[in-house]
Chains A and B, each alone.
Chain A
Amino acid sequence: MAKKPGPKPGSKPSKLSVYLYIPNIIGYTRVLLNCYAFHVCFTNKILFSILYFFSFVCDAVDGWAARKFNQVSTFGAVLDMVTDRISTACLLVVLSQVYKPGLIFLSLLALDIASHWLQMYSTFLMGKTSHKDVKDSSNWLFKLYYGNRMFMAYCCVSCEVLYLILFYLSENHTETLMDVLATNLQKISIVSFLIATSFVGCTIKQLTNVIQLKTAADACVLYDINKKQKQ
């Protein structure tokens, strides 16, 4: 009896093989790290910070791994994006519990979800490959943010660093955010330097989110207008 032939070169990979891509496995690890991190966040702040930050580092690693092992996948990109959104959301939820006014962090959560969602939607409508390809935008902050990958990385990392520092600094469950910021910025220390620089980066990121929201909403509107015009 003839031996069953193995997979021919160029034949369809199975779904399972894509789910088992190395960068996707790193992605699942990120999810597990985040689950465990938030499980211990109130009982062991240092462990939480380490796990959360490590998961953030894995975010960069899985992109590198995907390119290195030629295992780039759409599923991997979505997994990455959704994990980012949810881990940031959970950290903001926790911050809204330990700081007053909690509404600040709820608003940041809303802005994060809304701006990324709308941007992804409009990216699809316009057929762009990535929401990070914004060559035709007229807004200067936009061009600065997206044109320079190091600057964008600084802003994104700043948000996570600021949120982590704020969580680490929280002593009891109803601190006023302004007090904690003012107290820690007045001391001259590494922490105050980190807070100051990450605060700047985080603010820029939030401003970019707002502009993103507007640009993406415009794109949705223009899509309809163009579609009607072509009919």
Chain B
Amino acid sequence: MVTDRISTACLLVVLSQVYKPGLVFLSLLALDIASHWLQMYSTFLMGKASHKDVKDSSNWLFRLYYGNRMFMAYCCVSCEVLYLILFYLSENHTEKLTDVLATNLQKISILSFLIATSLVGCTIKQLTNVIQLKTAADACVLYDIDKKHKQ
């Protein structure tokens, strides 16, 4: 888990140096750390075996993501593939991200197909991260509320 977080973080740091606006990648870094941290914390509070066991969630995207391991794998791998492709495509140190994406998506090639599919998967993963953040925060709040109630 820690190796995952740090390796993704370092790749995002590098991407924030070679693309403009670098803030996009910093934000992705912040979201990645925050959502995984809060989810791990709330998992411990609730005594669940793994943060991937989310049977009781009502959110449809959540259930789709965690219910189907292949789908989850596709989304996770998409992020890493997209970041790697973006890094590979960077020519000099101040490229505009939208320009590079637009140029490469306009060509019909294996590369543009990879970019398109990984962009979809990565977007879904980020949305799930946001929902995760909210759900985990709620769990922390409910933990306190339940604890007080039992007293």
Q: What residues of chain A have their CB less than 8 Å away from a CB belonging to chain B?
A: 12-13, 15, 18-19, 38-39, 73-75, 78-79, 81-82, 85-86, 89-90, 93, 96-97, 102, 106, 109-110, 113-114, 117-118, 120-121, 124
Contacts and interface: CB of A to CB of B under 8 A. Distances in A.
Q: Which secondary structure characterizes the binding site on chain B?
A: helix
B41 interface: yes
A106 B10 contact: yes
Contacts of A38: 23, 26
A15 B145 contact: yes
Interface stretch (B29-37, B106-114, B121-129): B29-37
A152 B138 CA distance: 31
30 contacts: A13-B148, A18-B144, A38-B26, A73-B141, A75-B141, A79-B137, A82-B33, A82-B34, A82-B38, A85-B33, A85-B37, A86-B34, A89-B9, A89-B29, A89-B33, A90-B29, A90-B30, A93-B13, A96-B17, A97-B17, A102-B17, A109-B10, A110-B6, A110-B9, A113-B6, A113-B33, A118-B2, A120-B40, A121-B40, A124-B44
Contacts of B2: 113-114, 117-118
* Interface hub of A85, A90, A93, A102 (most chain B Cβ within 10 A): A93
Given A18-B141, A79-B137, 11 more contacts: A19-B141, A73-B144, A74-B45, A86-B33, A97-B22, A110-B6, A113-B5, A113-B6, A113-B9, A113-B33, A124-B44
Contact of A39 (B9, B23, B34): B23
Interface string B78-91: 00000000000000
Contacts of B138: 15
A219 to B, nearest CB: 14
Q: Which secondary structure characterizes the binding site on chain A?
A: helix
A15 B137 CA distance: 10
Contacts of A114: 2, 6
B15 to A, nearest CB: 11
